[in-house]
Amino acid sequence: MRRRVKFYGSILLFVVLQLFINTQYAFAHVAVIRVEPADGALLADPPTTMILWFDETIVDRFSSVQLVDRQNQPVSGVTMQVDSDTHDRMRVTLPTLSPGSYTLFWKALSDDDGHLSQGFTTFAVGAEAPADPAKATSVGVEKTTATEGLLRWLNYLLLMTVLGALAMLCWVLPTAQGTPAAAAAQQRLRRHMLWVGAGSAGAAFLLGFALLAWQLQTAQAASAVDSALFAQGWELLGRTQWGILWLVRQLLYLFVAAGLWRLATRPKESVSLWLWLFVYGRAVDLAVVQALTGHAGSSHQDWLLTLAATAVHLLAAGVWIGGLLTLCLLFGTVRNEGHHARLGWRPIDWRAFTLAAVVSVGLLFSSGLYRTGQLVISADALLTTRYGQLLLGKVLLVCVVGLCGLANALVVHPRLAVWLGRHLGFRLIDRLERV
């Protein structure tokens, strides 16, 4: 019993760490990549315009700027407009400025993932040095709040569970059983797994409204125009990519939850194949929508390949991580091995699960390497950038868990252990059993 607790505790710990690392990619925020005049510039003549380039498209309606002088007093007459063609460039029109130093604070809402970012740039007119932004206020790219992190973490967790339950139903549950009692037990396990998927999809649907409320609050904080809450909500849902994808997400989760509920309440023989295909198709659509909600759709070059790689990455993570989560949730249903032996019940096809895990890990590595080439452009960036450090941590975690999985596979398949031990020069199976 203690070994089982340790085993499933290790699985849950791995799932939590893996989800934490995976969701960090979704927490990246829009940032300024170029500004004219340059940050800290000393200008002889006062500028009439400033241009800020962003690494993602931003929403004009929910972005704003404010110019302050050296005494932190707002400067009136400043207007802002986002480029209507590319939506990644902000043009700020300035009034006639007196000699002195100035700081321009900006807020921008990403059209791709709905993240709010804020920052500043400084310049000076005449002989005076630019103002020290640290004395003006605390600025910089806005960090992920605890509420945002919790909501997005739960969003990924529920998506992984839905995908994992569907994967286990398709590949891991053996249909043929030795006795009628075993077949009945397998039918109950199948129904429980369907309820896990349906419950997760329903919970994700309800979570969507919490995500919408948080997003609307974020958009209000960035908006420079005071308007009614309903008007801003309509603007957010109807005129931003995040809002349109949210509507699609809610509809897909509703379809998946209803489909899994119908599958769980009907005998397997009476369910049409088209319903299964419909549910699995909408689950794949959920992975695509989640990829679009992140940064996959913001790549101007090879965006379709980037979207496909991100969707495959999510699907593979769903099969592996979500499969482990589903099995942990159903541990109480299948834990009694003596009961299995009496019924002749084989609840889980572990060979199929091993194959699914191996294929999923391979897809995770290949799609992850592709995204690494886009996010980390040099070997030094692996150590000096946040993306690089997260990728190194993810690779280390996967390697550790992969070694644990290899050890477990060698214990389950003694022939493989004997073959590997023969090449290593010692009895590997004995050492693994002692461990």
Token pair, residue 62, equals 């929910």
What is the structure's pLDDT at 330?
Answer: 81
Token pair, residue 312, equals 């495959």
DSSP state of 85: T
What is the structure's pLDDT at 40?
Answer: 85
What is the structure's pLDDT at 204?
Answer: 97
What gap in Å lies between CA 15 and CA 12, rounded to an integer? 5
What are the helix (H) ranges across 330-385? 331-334, 337-343, 350-375, 381-384
What gap in Å lies between CA 292 and CA 154, rounded to an integer? 18
What is the structure's pLDDT at 406?
Answer: 67
What gap in Å lies between CA 38 and CA 16, rounded to an integer? 42
Q: Do residues 203 and 158 make contact, with C-beta atoms less than 8 angstroms apart?
A: yes
Q: Do residues 142 and 168 make contact, with C-beta atoms less than 8 angstroms apart?
A: no
Residue 48 burial (C-beta neighbours within 10 Å; 0-12, 13-18, 19+):
exposed
DSSP state of 169: I
What gap in Å lies between CA 377 and CA 400, rounded to an integer? 26
End-to-end CA distance of the chain: 16
- Please name the residues in contact with 284: beta carbons below 8 A apart, sequence gap of 6 or more: 311, 315
Give how far the C-alpha of residue 229 lies from the chain's centroid of Cα atoms, to the nearest Å. Answer: 28
Determine how β-strand 32-36 pairs with β-strand 100-109. Answer: unpaired
Q: Do residues 320 and 360 make contact, with C-beta atoms less than 8 angstroms apart?
A: yes
What is the structure's pLDDT at 197?
Answer: 95
What is the structure's pLDDT at 329?
Answer: 83
What is the structure's pLDDT at 158?
Answer: 94
Q: What are phi and psi of 74, to 5 degrees?
A: -65, 145
Q: Could you tell me which of 250, 286, 8, 332 has the C-alpha nearest to residue 162?
A: 286
What is the structure's pLDDT at 277?
Answer: 92
CA count, 13 A, side-chain hemisphere, 214: 20
What is the structure's pLDDT at 7?
Answer: 46
Tally of CB atoms within 10 A around 373: 9
What gap in Å lies between CA 373 and CA 385, rounded to an integer? 13
- Please name the residues in contact with 144: beta carbons below 8 A apart, sequence gap of 6 or more: 27, 29
What is the structure's pLDDT at 337?
Answer: 47
Tens-place pLDDT, residues 129-160: 555 544 433 334 445 567 777 888 899 999 99
Low-confidence ranges of the chain (pLDDT < 50): 1, 3-8, 11-12, 14-16, 18-27, 133-142, 337-338, 428-429, 432-433, 435
Tens-place pLDDT, residues 13-54: 544 454 444 444 444 556 788 898 888 888 888 899 999 988
Q: Which domains are present in the chain?
A: 2-27+145-375 (no CATH), 32-136 (2.60.40.1220)
What is the structure's pLDDT at 361?
Answer: 81
Q: Could you tell me which of 346, 8, 403 has the C-alpha nearest to residue 183?
A: 346
Token pair, residue 430, equals 């004995």
What gap in Å lies between CA 107 and CA 105, rounded to an integer? 7
Radius of gyration of the chain (CA): 27
